[in-house]
């Protein structure tokens, strides 16, 4: 076991984690970044296609500023967001975020006259260099900023446990250095958890390979509360084939330099979603797309896993390719955006909920544990707000550090965690199964019982099946090769433990929310119920590991839904 | 003329239409139910004396990519193959491997019926198909590949046109996948050269060609990148999965910057110019002699080989051949020197 110490450990190398580390560094605190993949290369931040123009930036009118705020609160978070947080984040993004990025060198695509190119319409966005690929350049910049600052990192190192002291405060982090096959113990009194908004719970997922609910699982075990785990977003227009292109999206967002966007067609060739006409204010109109698809599924004209199509054929090819890389999937398949259509399918996207934080400070109820970005339950993980989270978490940590006790690694807990990890690296028993097999079984089950259409009976079955996987399959789990070095199967075994635990919590949370809202739909409770369920659905850990549930209402100072109850498929958010 | 479907730009696609190897043709080469045979490089330097190849048969699924074969082998066939990937969307640039000797992104490359899959070259293997990117990264960082402003940032949005950014725009597409770094024969020479390699130079070109950058990038290209060691063989452009014109759009502009800012040290460029001025065309042996001087004679066997293959002709060099229309060439030189800037 390798031993390290850090003033603050930042877990995650995406937009939130890197910015938290940079901000800590700027404030004179020495952070250590732990990244399960490669900083700026793994994690979903590279997928940020569009950069939203907030407030009055770039000549936005007062109406556009209002529409953009509404898009964040109503369309994007279904009112499950702290509106004071939304306002503070929006103001910071307008004032600090874009200037900081541009000063550091990010190229926001201009035209030849020097104007930043945006789409027409109520909610505008821009692109770093090329629309659809903004996140790549954005995260490359963050990686270089971290390198330039000389901030130390452990890459391809998966955090596996948060260690707490006798008072329940953070005292350390345990991790697996994948390349060396070495367990690492880091003594620290502050952790900023920034592991992202997604997990690979489903056969198709927009998450990058390494995202597996481990942030949520670690925080839960350390005593943090969770909320709104059941609100699972979907991408409705990701390419169906090749099978590995689960995050290759035919973007439904308006193409910058125009007001146009891709359309969706059912199996009869009828248009069933056209953002321009159906959702002019919904930048990233994923929920509305999903609901329109659900109606096609009910009519037998599409399936959630395919049988419907997306294309740009109604738009001049030059409009599509002027500022975007949207043609890339077509081109790589030898097809043309002018004439061809691609079959699309749903992929699990954001998990909107996550760890309960105070969104004014990014602190959890566990002393020393802070959260930034999509792994928090306060917001859903857009790249600009998660960067705000990183800034805020760093500011809070810098202020709290003098009050936190010096870190002393709890040796017994560290030893127990190392033993747990080593026990997972065992040879495949005679009738055993691989971690990949268990993951696959879980994904099939989630797809069948926890997809868009679900009800209490199916979810109860799902819960029983997850329990069976945990009690029967996990004990039979082993690895084909027990080498410690770069053993992805070992990592899979660690992931499986987290995924099964969080899957069970997610199903329980879904059973508890007796309504439908946004992308969360129950056939037994099909109404969006603003009277009873405009609340946080909070899970609190208990001694035996089962959750206690409570709810907490949202304050609605700026924007309120305009109906008490309505059939969710008829709500446009 | 019939309209062509989306033509793929870049050297990597030269001749593909003629050989029936276009992306469209590749969609129909295999059908569902067919089998893909993959011979995969396996090596754990900690425990294995030498690398070996394992052969796996994988059922073809529609429009299958190389990554799906690797995932199938590691997850379905109970193997323990180590291969790196994160996004499966041509963005993270971490899944690059060599398929039948050619660098590709596993997530983006269609499978072939029979494939030998190996790790990238010019980087140590950690295990199987996973390479250690650390040394490569160090080369990138040595070039200070971040914007250094001389003028204070004027505030958002800063005055900037796309026309001014156009020279750097293609370099901005780089996803640091290391395909070109693996394919580069000069990087492959190892200690014999301090050439930074194509991808690091693309990273440098990003800022060097950015009108907002304010430091002497020519000097960096020369002193930290040994940019003139590029032999313009275009192997890098051939394999670039995002079709960056690496030689013409990044390395040559960096050579020009180097010559402009440190002409005295840009020996290669100066000798090259002199030879063309004197003879009307380049002469490889004179170039090597002029650049490396006596050091060029350290490898007599190599010289012999080059002569045998007709690459150099020392006799012609010594006799000082020149093209018959040499005067026209000299006029061009005159025009460039004396003409409008």
**Pair A447, A535 in one domain:** yes
Which helix (H) or strand (E) segment is A16 a member of? helix A15-26
Distance, CA of A240 to CA of A248 (rounded, Å): 9
Q: What is the CA radius of gyration of chain A?
A: 23
Distance, CA of A394 to CA of A9 (rounded, Å): 11
Q: Which residues contact A213 (CB under 8 A, 6 or more apart)?
A: A199, A201, A498, A499, A501, A502, A503
* Among candidates A41, A113, A241 on the partner chain, residue whose Cβ is nearest the Cβ of B86: A41
**Pair B44, B31 in one domain:** yes
**Pair A431, A343 in one domain:** no
Number of structural domains (chain A) is 2
| B34 is a domain residue | yes
| B197 is a domain residue | yes
| B101 is a domain residue | yes
Mutation to test the B interface, candidates A155, A320, A334, A442, most B Cβ within 10 Å:
A334
**Pair B294, B259 in one domain:** no
In the predicted model, is pLDDT for residue B87 greater than 80? yes
Which residues of chain B lie closer than 8 angstroms to A109, CB-CB?
A: 162
Model ipTM over 0.95: yes
A108/B6 Cβ within 8 A: no
Domain boundary among A287, A322, A348: A348
| B3 is a domain residue | no
Distance, CA of B84 to CA of A156 (rounded, Å): 10
Query: CB of A471 within 8 Å of any CB in chain B?
Result: no
pLDDT of residue B26: 81
pLDDT of residue B18: 75
| B2 is a domain residue | no
Tokens, residue B175: 């996803």
Beta bridge mates, B103: B98
- For B242, the closest chain A residue by CA position comes to A328
Q: How far is A342 from chain B (nearest CA, A)?
A: 12
Tokens, residue B253: 């502009």
| A404 is a domain residue | no
Assign residue A299 the CATH number of its domain. Answer: 3.90.700
Per-residue pLDDT reduced to its tens digit, A368-402: 999 999 999 998 889 999 999 999 999 999 999 99
Assign residue B59 the CATH number of its domain. Answer: 3.10.20.30
Query: CB of A487 within 8 Å of any CB in chain B?
Result: yes
* Interstrand relation of A527-529 and A565-567 (parallel, antiparallel or unpaired): antiparallel
pLDDT of residue B27: 82
Domain boundary among B71, B102, B130: B130
| B12 is a domain residue | no
| A203 is a domain residue | no
Of A419, A350, A334, A409, give the one whose Cα is nearest residue A383.
A350
pLDDT of residue B333: 87
**Pair A333, A433 in one domain:** no
In this prediction, residues B264-269 reach a mean pLDDT of: 88
Query: CB of B162 within 8 Å of any CB in chain A?
Result: yes
B65/A42 Cβ within 8 A: no
| B181 is a domain residue | yes
Q: How far is A426 from chain B (nearest CA, A)?
A: 13
**Pair B192, B111 in one domain:** no
**Pair B38, B120 in one domain:** yes
pLDDT of residue B340: 46
* Helix/strand/coil for A539: strand
* Among candidates A137, A208, A336 on the partner chain, residue whose Cβ is nearest the Cβ of B87: A208
pLDDT of residue B9: 54
Of A247, A250, A268, give the one whose Cα is nearest residue A260.
A250
B161/A113 Cβ within 8 A: yes
**Pair A238, A319 in one domain:** yes
For A191-248, list the strands marked E by DSSP: 191-193, 226-227, 232-239
Average the pLDDT over each of A361-365, B221-225, B238-242, B323-327 and give the range with the smallest value.
Answer: B323-327
* Interstrand relation of A2-5 and A226-227 (parallel, antiparallel or unpaired): unpaired
Q: Which residues contact B65 (CB under 8 A, 6 or more apart)?
A: A242, A244, A245, B106, B107, B108, B109, B110, B111
- For B44, the closest chain A residue by CA position comes to A485
Where would I find the H helices in A39-165? Answer: 62-70, 83-92, 98-104, 134-149
**Pair B139, B250 in one domain:** yes
**Pair B113, B22 in one domain:** yes
Per-residue pLDDT reduced to its tens digit, B22-50: 878 888 889 998 999 999 999 999 999 99
pLDDT of residue B11: 66
Residues 176-205 of B with CB under 8 A from A: 176
Print the domain residue range for A297.
234-348
Q: How far is B24 from chain A (nearest CA, A)?
A: 4
In this prediction, residues B114-133 reach a mean pLDDT of: 98
**Pair B160, B91 in one domain:** no
Print the domain residue range for B329.
267-338
Q: How far is B87 from chain A (nearest CA, A)?
A: 5
* Helix/strand/coil for A220: helix
B67/A99 Cβ within 8 A: no
Q: How far is A347 from chain B (nearest CA, A)?
A: 13
Mutation to test the B interface, candidates A12, A35, A41, A444, most B Cβ within 10 Å:
A41
Of A34, A373, A389, A35, give the one whose Cα is nearest residue A188.
A34
| B119 is a domain residue | yes
**Pair A430, A555 in one domain:** yes
* Helix/strand/coil for B45: coil
Which of the 8 DSSP states describes residue B315?
Answer: H
Number of structural domains (chain B) is 3
Q: Which residues of chain A have pLDDT under 50?
A: none
- Contact (Cβ atoms closer than 8 angstroms) between residue A355 and residue A226: yes
Q: How far is A104 from chain B (nearest CA, A)?
A: 7
Residues 205-264 of A with CB under 8 A from B: 208-210, 241-248
Percent of chain A with pLDDT over 90: 95
| pLDDT band with cut points at 50, 70 and 90 for residue B338 | low
**Pair B241, B300 in one domain:** no
**Pair A343, A433 in one domain:** no
**Pair B176, B60 in one domain:** no
∠ CA A154-A160-A161, rounded to 5°: 115
| A177 is a domain residue | no
**Pair A333, A425 in one domain:** no
B162/A111 Cβ within 8 A: yes
Domain boundary among B264, B289, B322: B264
């Amino acid at each position: 076991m390798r031993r390290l110490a850090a003033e603050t450990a930042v877990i995650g190398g995406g937009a939130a984690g890197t910015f938290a580390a940079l901000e800590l560094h700027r404030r004179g605190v020495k952070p250590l970044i732990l990244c399960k993949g490669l900083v700026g290369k793994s994690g979903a931040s590279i997928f940020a296609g569009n950069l939203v123009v907030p407030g009055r930036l770039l000549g936005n009118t007062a109406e556009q500023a209002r529409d953009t705020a509404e898009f964040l609160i109503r369309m994007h978070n279904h009112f499950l967001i702290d509106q004071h947080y939304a306002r503070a984040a929006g103001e910071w993004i307008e004032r600090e975020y874009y200037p900081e990025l541009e000063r550091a060198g990010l190229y926001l695509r201009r035209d030849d006259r020097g104007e930043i190119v945006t789409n027409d319409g109520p909610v505008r966005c821009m692109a770093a260099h090329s629309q659809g690929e903004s996140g790549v350049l954005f995260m490359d910049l963050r990686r270089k900023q971290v390198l330039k600052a000389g901030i130390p990192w452990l890459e391809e190192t998966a955090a596996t446990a948060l260690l707490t002291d006798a008072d329940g405060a953070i005292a350390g982090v345990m991790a697996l250095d994948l390349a060396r096959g070495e367990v690492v113990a880091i003594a620290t009194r502050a952790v900023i958890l920034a592991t992202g908004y997604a997990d690979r719970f489903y056969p198709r997922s927009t998450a990058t390979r390494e995202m597996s609910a481990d942030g949520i699982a670690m925080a839960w075990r350390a005593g943090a509360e969770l909320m709104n785990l059941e609100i699972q977003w979907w991408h409705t227009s990701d390419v169906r084939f090749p099978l590995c292109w689960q995050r290759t999206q035919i973007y439904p967002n308006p193409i910058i330099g125009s007001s146009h966007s891709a359309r969706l067609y059912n199996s009869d060739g009828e248009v069933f979603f056209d953002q321009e006409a159906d959702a002019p204010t919904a930048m990233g109109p994923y929920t509305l797309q999903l609901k329109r698809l659900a109606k096609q599924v009910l009519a037998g004209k599409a399936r959630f896993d395919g049988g419907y199509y997306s294309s740009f054929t109604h738009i001049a090819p030059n409009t599509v390719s002027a500022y975007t890389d949207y043609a890339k999937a077509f081109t790589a398949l030898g097809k043309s955006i002018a004439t061809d259509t691609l079959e699309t399918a749903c992929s699990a996207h954001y998990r909107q909920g996550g760890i309960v934080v105070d969104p004014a400070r990014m602190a959890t109820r566990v002393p020393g544990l802070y959260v930034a970005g999509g792994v928090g339950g306060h917001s859903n993980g857009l790249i600009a707000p998660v960067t705000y989270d990183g800034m805020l978490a760093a500011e809070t940590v810098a202020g709290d550090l003098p009050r936190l006790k010096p870190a002393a690694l709890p040796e017994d807990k560290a030893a127990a965690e190392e033993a747990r990890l080593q026990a997972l690296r065992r040879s495949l028993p005679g009738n055993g199964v691989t971690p990949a097999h268990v993951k696959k079984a879980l994904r099939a089950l989630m797809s069948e019982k926890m997809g868009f259409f679900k009800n209490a009976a199916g979810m109860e079955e799902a819960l029983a099946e997850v329990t069976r996987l945990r009690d029967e399959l996990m004990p039979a789990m082993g690895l084909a090769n027990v080498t410690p070095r770069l053993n992805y199967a070992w990592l899979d075994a660690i992931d499986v433990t987290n995924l099964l635990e969080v899957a069970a919590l997610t199903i329980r949370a879904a059973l508890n929310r007796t309504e439908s809202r946004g992308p969360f739909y129950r056939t037994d409770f099909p109404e969006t119920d603003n009277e009873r369920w405009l609340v946080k659905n909070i899970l609190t850990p208990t001694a035996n590991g089962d959750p206690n549930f409570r709810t907490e209402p949202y304050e609605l100072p700026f924007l309120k839904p305009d109906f008490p109850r309505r059939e969710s498929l008829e709500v446009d958010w | 003329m019939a309209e062509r479907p989306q033509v793929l730009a870049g050297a990597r696609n030269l001749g593909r239409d003629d050989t029936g190897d276009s992306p469209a043709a590749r969609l129909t080469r295999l059908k569902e139910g067919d089998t893909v045979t993959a011979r995969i490089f396996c090596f754990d330097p900690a425990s294995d004396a030498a690398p070996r190849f394992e052969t796996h048969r994988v059922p073809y699924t529609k429009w299958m990519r190389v990554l799906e074969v690797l995932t199938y082998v590691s997850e379905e066939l109970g193997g323990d193959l180590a291969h790196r990937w994160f996004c499966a969307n041509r963005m993270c640039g971490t899944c690059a491997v060599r398929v039948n000797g050619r660098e590709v992104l596993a997530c983006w490359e269609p499978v072939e019926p029979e494939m030998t899959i190996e790790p990238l070259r010019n980087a140590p293997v950690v295990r199987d198909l996973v390479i250690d990117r650390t040394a490569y990264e160090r080369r990138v960082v040595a070039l200070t590949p971040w914007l250094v402003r001389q003028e204070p940032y004027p505030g958002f949005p800063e005055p900037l046109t796309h026309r001014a950014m156009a020279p750097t725009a293609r370099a901005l597409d780089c996803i640091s996948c290391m395909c070109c770094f693996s394919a580069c024969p000069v990087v492959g020479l190892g200690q014999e050269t301090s050439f930074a390699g194509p991808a690091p130079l693309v990273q440098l070109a990003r800022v060097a060609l950015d009108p907002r950058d304010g430091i002497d990038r020519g000097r960096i290209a020369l002193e930290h990148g040994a940019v003139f060691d590029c032999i313009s063989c275009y192997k890098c452009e051939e394999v670039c999965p995002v079709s960056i014109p690496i030689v013409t759009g990044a390395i040559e502009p960096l050579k020009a910057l180097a010559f402009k800012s440190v002409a005295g040290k840009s020996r290669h460029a100066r000798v090259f110019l002199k030879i063309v001025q004197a003879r009307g065309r380049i002469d490889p042996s004179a170039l090597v002699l002029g650049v490396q001087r006596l050091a060029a004679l350290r490898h007599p066997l190599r010289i012999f080989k080059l002569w045998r293959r007709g690459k150099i002709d020392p006799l012609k060099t010594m006799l000082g051949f020149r093209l018959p229309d040499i005067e026209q060439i000299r006029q061009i030189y005159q025009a460039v020197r004396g003409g409008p800037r």
